[in-house]
């Protein structure tokens, strides 16, 4: 993606279902879980590079023994930094207890941190706010009773954080922050405390307090805790938690907005945000990896048994389509094919934009994540050419040019754009900065016939259009093509996201800027006033009034205006911009229909409130987030 945006975080959980000694004896190492958690996190590093965290819980330790360990880091290679520290613990074990200590599970659990059976890792992409150790997951809520300790990490954003905060205050709490991470954890923690109290009251007249502690740890109803905790949540989430007794869970929102997958056998239960990470860490078949159902949680009990429990009634599934277009790793076979299909689906629009002149057109892509869509686009061109050959050879239709040329013709494919270096531009003035930004991408010279060839270049999506305007078009125009066609494998991004992606302000979207420009050109400012009045008058409406900004224009009109905006006076070539259609998006990605940033059809009530508030902020000149 040429317009870099921050997005969903990554989670990774491993629960060993057998005693630690089993893994030492079978695999020859006490680091079996740590090593695989490291792979899970490295294979999801695309999901978060602002920070990382790892927490570990030991089950059934003796009183006086530390049983919860946690490291967090905001170093440039945060995951590596954390696991280097964990490895130091094992080197320390060798010094303290000798070589044999590394193969003695009981000694390790009594003496060395990060030797427990339950592991939770998190990779952070900070969509807003500061980037510090304190903002890194996992978060920890401590208590002297083991079953009241809670460790949580997640991939989520809540749209109703103010409401959640107020409910905590009504419960008598005094939260230290208003962030959704804190409010969510305190909510779960509150009902964890109540569950402990319920079980205590059940047994208090029959057993000693010490006996009751063990009964609570064995009987803790985690699904009940989650049902009571999540009923007020509005947002997209995949939240992972560990309880001090060794229970664990990952719960997914009812619309399935945020991704979560799991695998289980008699040795482990493993959960992650992406399937390829699980496959790489455990070398298993993709078919063995299952998706957590929307509104459900994988609950792992203290004894290692697990179940998938309904927490909230599932709604229509609206999994984030951006996961498939860009965020998730393309090594997932389904995602790989979907991205190819997105490229292929653009062929009719591309052919129209180049006047069907394939002979004088060169095809390329913006590196690196658009490469798969590019392969699909080329496949689509090949299929088009095959169909044309059949028309001539089988149907006898007339054609222009030599038959041999028709049979041997192949689309002209070149790698025209390469990402060069990340340049430091903050030391220059504004005029110099534009020059520096234009140098971020480099191009291949002397493969384009000046004034003759058309360039078709595909990108994953066009969000802000800044890089396109300041760098890519300037770079491509140096080749002196007749025409430049920029193709987006995603539809026009028209509305903010409020479930995890860093796309929260209306004015940042090139499609919105295009709609505003058309409104002003056509003297239709009354449209903006009308939408603003609706948003202000009905702030809690379940209708997305901002759709009215776009309703007066066709998709093509907005695309053409986007092309006008990104074409600076210095650009000599004709510029066209093509976006994927929403209809084709749904055909290519039929099982992941979360498209609110394209269509404005939000899957939760909070989403509707956010989009209307975002427009009010725009009209009032406020640059704050709308949630």
Mean pLDDT of the chain: 91
Q: Taking the CA atoms of the chain, what radius of gyration do you get in angstroms?
A: 28
Using alpha carbons, list the distances in angstroms from residue 254 to 263, 388, 460: 21, 47, 28
Say yes or no: 293 and 149 in one domain. yes
Confidence at residue 99, expressed as pLDDT on a 0 to 100 scale: 82
Measuring CA to CA, which residue among 235, 274, 279 is closest to residue 257? 235
Q: Is there a domain that residue 171 lies in? A: no
Say yes or no: 553 and 444 in one domain. yes
Task: Lowest mean pLDDT of 30-44, 56-70, 180-194, 506-520, name the range.
Answer: 180-194
Say yes or no: 346 and 289 in one domain. no
Give me the CATH number covering residue 285.
3.60.20.10
Beta-bridged to residue 417, according to DSSP, are 443
Q: Is there a domain that residue 180 lies in? A: no
Task: Lowest mean pLDDT of 21-30, 94-103, 373-382, name the range.
Answer: 94-103
Q: Is there a domain that residue 333 lies in? A: yes
In tens, the pLDDT along 3-37 reads 666 667 999 999 999 999 999 999 999 999 999 99
Say yes or no: 305 and 401 in one domain. no
CA atoms 233, 235, 237, 239: torsion sign: negative
Task: Lowest mean pLDDT of 44-58, 151-165, 296-310, name the range.
Answer: 151-165
Q: Higher-confidence residue: 484 or 155? A: 484
Give me the CATH number covering residue 392.
3.40.50.2020
Say yes or no: 266 and 385 in one domain. no
Residue 528 has pLDDT above 70, yes or no: yes
Say yes or no: 431 and 573 in one domain. yes
Q: What is the mean pLDDT of residues 288-298?
A: 98
Q: Is there a domain that residue 202 lies in? A: no
Say yes or no: 282 and 364 in one domain. no
Beta-bridged to residue 365, according to DSSP, are 458
Residue 408 has pLDDT above 90, yes or no: no
Q: Is there a domain that residue 225 lies in? A: no
Model confidence at 438, pLDDT cuts 50, 70, 90, reads: low
Q: Is there a domain that residue 175 lies in? A: no
Query: Of the candidates 255, 285, 317, which is a domain's last residue?
Result: 317
Domain assignment of residue 534, given as a range: 323-620
Q: What is the mean pLDDT of residues 34-42?
A: 97
Residue 239 CB partners (closer than 8 Å, separation 6+): 152, 153, 154, 155, 156, 184, 188, 250, 251
Number of domains in the chain: 2
Measuring CA to CA, which residue among 189, 115, 202 is closest to residue 147? 189
Residue 208 near residue 229, CB atoms below 8 Å = no
Residue 2 has pLDDT above 70, yes or no: no
Considering the chain, what percentage of its residues have pLDDT values greater than 70? 94
Query: Of the candidates 262, 289, 317, which is a domain's last residue?
Result: 317
Q: Is there a domain that residue 598 lies in? A: yes
Confidence at residue 423, expressed as pLDDT on a 0 to 100 scale: 46
Confidence at residue 429, expressed as pLDDT on a 0 to 100 scale: 44
Residue 368 near residue 2, CB atoms below 8 Å = no
In tens, the pLDDT along 453-510 reads 999 999 999 998 888 888 899 999 999 999 999 999 999 999 999 997 878 889 999 9
Say yes or no: 349 and 253 in one domain. no
Residues comprising the chain, all counted: 627
Tokens for 447? 């493969």
Q: Higher-confidence residue: 207 or 421? A: 207
Confidence at residue 405, expressed as pLDDT on a 0 to 100 scale: 75
Q: Is there a domain that residue 205 lies in? A: no
Say yes or no: 466 and 433 in one domain. yes
Say yes or no: 496 and 438 in one domain. yes
Model confidence at 430, pLDDT cuts 50, 70, 90, reads: very low
Say yes or no: 297 and 337 in one domain. no
User: Checking DSSP bridges between strand 118-124 and strand 306-310, what pairing results, if any?
Assistant: unpaired
Tokens for 608? 């509707």
Tokens for 129? 């706010």
Say yes or no: 345 and 248 in one domain. no
3-state secondary structure 100-147: HHHHCHHHHHHHCCCCCCEEEEEEECCCCCCCCHHHCCCEEECCCCHH
Query: Of the candidates 317, 352, 375, which is a domain's last residue?
Result: 317
């Amino acid at each position: 993606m040429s317009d870099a945006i921050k997005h969903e975080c990554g989670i990774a959980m491993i629960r060993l279902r057998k005693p630690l000694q089993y893994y030492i004896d079978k695999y020859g190492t006490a680091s079996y879980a740590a090593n695989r958690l490291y792979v899970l996190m490295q294979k999801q590093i695309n999901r978060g590079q602002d920070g990382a965290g790892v927490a570990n819980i030991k089950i059934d330790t003796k009183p006086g023994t530390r049983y919860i360990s946690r490291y967090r880091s905001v170093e440039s290679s945060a995951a590596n930094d954390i696991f280097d520290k964990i490895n130091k613990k094992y080197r320390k074990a060798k010094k303290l207890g000798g070589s044999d200590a590394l193969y003695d599970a009981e000694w390790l659990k009594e003496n060395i941190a990060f030797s427990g059976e339950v592991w939770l890792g998190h990779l952070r992409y900070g969509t807003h706010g500061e980037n510090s150790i304190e903002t890194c997951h996992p978060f920890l809520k401590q208590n002297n009773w083991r079953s009241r300790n809670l460790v949580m990490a997640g991939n989520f954003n809540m749209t109703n954080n103010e409401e959640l905060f107020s409910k905590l205050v009504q419960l008598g709490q005094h939260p230290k922050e208003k962030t959704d991470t804190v409010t969510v954890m305190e909510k779960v923690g509150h009902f964890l405390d109540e569950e402990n109290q319920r079980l205590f009251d059940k047994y208090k007249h029959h057993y000693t307090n010490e006996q009751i502690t063990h009964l609570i740890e064995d009987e803790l109803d985690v699904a009940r805790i989650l049902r009571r905790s999540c009923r007020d949540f509005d947002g997209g989430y995949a939240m992972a938690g560990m309880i001090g007794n060794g229970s664990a869970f990952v719960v997914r929102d009812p619309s399935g907005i945020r991704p979560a997958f799991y695998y289980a056998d008699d040795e482990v239960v493993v959960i992650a945000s992406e399937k390829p990470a699980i496959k790489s860490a455990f070398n298993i078949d993709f078919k063995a990896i299952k998706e957590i159902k929307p509104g459900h949680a994988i609950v792992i009990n203290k004894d290692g048994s697990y179940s998938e429990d309904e927490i909230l009634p599932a709604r229509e599934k609206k999994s984030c389509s951006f996961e498939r277009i860009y965020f998730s790793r393309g090594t997932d076979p389904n995602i790989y094919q979907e991205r190819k299909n997105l490229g292929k689906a653009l062929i009719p629009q591309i052919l129209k934009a180049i006047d069907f002149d394939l002979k004088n057109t060169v095809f390329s892509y913006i590196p690196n994540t658009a490469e798969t869509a590019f392969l699909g686009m080329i496949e689509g061109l090949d299929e088009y050419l095959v169909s044309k050959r059949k028309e001539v050879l089988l149907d006898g239709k007339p054609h222009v040019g030599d038959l041999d040329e028709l049979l041997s013709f192949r689309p002209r494919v070149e790698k025209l754009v390469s990402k060069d270096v990340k340049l430091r531009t903050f030391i220059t003035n504004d005029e110099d900065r534009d020059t520096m930004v234009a140098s971020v991408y480099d191009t291949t010279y002397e493969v384009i016939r000046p004034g003759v060839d058309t360039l078709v270049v595909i990108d994953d999506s066009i969000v802000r259009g800044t890089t396109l305007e300041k760098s890519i078009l300037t770079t491509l125009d140096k080749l002196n093509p007749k025409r430049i066609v920029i193709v987006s494998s995603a539809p026009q991004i028209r509305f903010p996201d409020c479930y995890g992606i860093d796309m929260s302000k209306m004015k940042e979207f090139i499609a919105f800027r295009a709609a505003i420009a058309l409104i002003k050109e056509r003297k239709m400012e009354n449209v903006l006033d009308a939408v603003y009045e609706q948003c202000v008058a009905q702030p809690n409406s379940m209708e997305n009034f901002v759709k009215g900004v776009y309703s007066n224009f066709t998709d093509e009109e907005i695309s053409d205006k986007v092309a006008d905006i990104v074409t600076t006076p210095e650009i000599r070539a004709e510029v066209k911009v093509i976006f994927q259609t929403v209809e084709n998006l749904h055909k290519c990605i039929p099982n992941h229909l979360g498209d609110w940033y394209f269509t404005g059809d939000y899957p939760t009530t909070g989403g509707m409130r956010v989009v209307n508030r975002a427009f009010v902020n725009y009209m009032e000149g406020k640059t704050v987030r709308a949630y």
